[in-house]
A and B are shown apart, each in its own frame.
Chain A
Amino acid sequence: MKKVIYVMIGAFLVIGLLGCASISTKGGPSPKVTVITPTVKLSKKATVTIKGAGFKPGQEVAILFTAIDGVQSDIDYTLKPKPVADKTGAWLTTWSCGRFVSKKLIKEGTYTLIITDVDYNQMAKAKVTFVK
Chain B
Amino acid sequence: MSKKMLVIGIALFIILSIGMAPTVHGVDFSKKTIKWIIPFKVGGGSDVWSRLYAPFFRKYLPGHPAVVIKNMPGGGSIIGGNYFDRKVKANGLTVFGSSGSTTFPYLLGVREVKYDFSRYYLVFASPFGGVAYINPKFGAKSVQDLKGFKEKLAYASQGATSLDIVPLLAFEMLGLDVKAVFGYKGRGAGRVAFEQGEADIDYQTSSAYIKNVRPLIKQGAAIPLMTWGVLDEKNKVVRDPMEPDLPCFPEAYEMIHGKRPSGQAWEAWKAFFTAGFAVQKGMWLPEKTKKDIVETYRTAAAKIIADPEFKVVVQKSLGGYKQLPGEQGRKAFEQVLKVPPESKVWLYGWLKDRYDVTVK
Residues on A facing B (Cβ under 8 Å):
1-2, 4-5, 8-9, 11-12, 15-16, 19, 64, 67, 69-74, 76-78, 99-100, 102-103, 105, 119-120
Say yes or no for B311: interface residue by CB 8 A criterion: no
A43, chain B: closest CB distance, angstroms: 15
Q: Is the CB of A71 within 8 A of B73?
A: no
Say yes or no for B238: interface residue by CB 8 A criterion: no
Look across to chain B and name the residue whose beta carbon is closest to the beta carbon of A7: B9
Q: Is the CB of A105 within 8 A of B42?
A: yes
Total A-B residue contacts, Cβ distance less than 8 Å: 73
Chain B interface size, under 10 / 10 to 19 / 20 to 34 / 35 or more:
20 to 34
Q: Is the CB of B68 within 8 A of A77?
A: no
A15 to B42, CA, bound (A): 45
B76, chain A: closest CB distance, angstroms: 15
Q: Is the CB of B43 within 8 A of A64?
A: no
Which of chain B's residues have a CB closer than 8 A to the CB of A74? 35, 68-71
Which of chain B's residues have a CB closer than 8 A to the CB of A120? 33, 35, 66, 68
A108 to B17, CA, bound (A): 50
A22 to B250, CA, bound (A): 64
Q: Is the CB of B55 within 8 A of A70?
A: yes
Residues on B facing A (Cβ under 8 Å):
2-3, 5-6, 8-10, 12-13, 16-17, 20, 33, 35, 41-43, 51, 54-55, 66-73
Which of chain A's residues have a CB closer than 8 A to the CB of B17? 12
A80, chain B: closest CB distance, angstroms: 14
Which of chain A's residues have a CB closer than 8 A to the CB of B2? 1-2
Say whether, besides A2-B2, A71-B51, A12 and B16 are in contact (CB < 8 Å): yes
Q: Is the CB of A9 within 8 A of B9?
A: yes
Q: Is the CB of A71 within 8 A of B54?
A: yes
6 closest residue pairs by CB, A with B: A103-B43, A5-B9, A1-B2, A120-B33, A74-B70, A71-B51
A66, chain B: closest CB distance, angstroms: 10
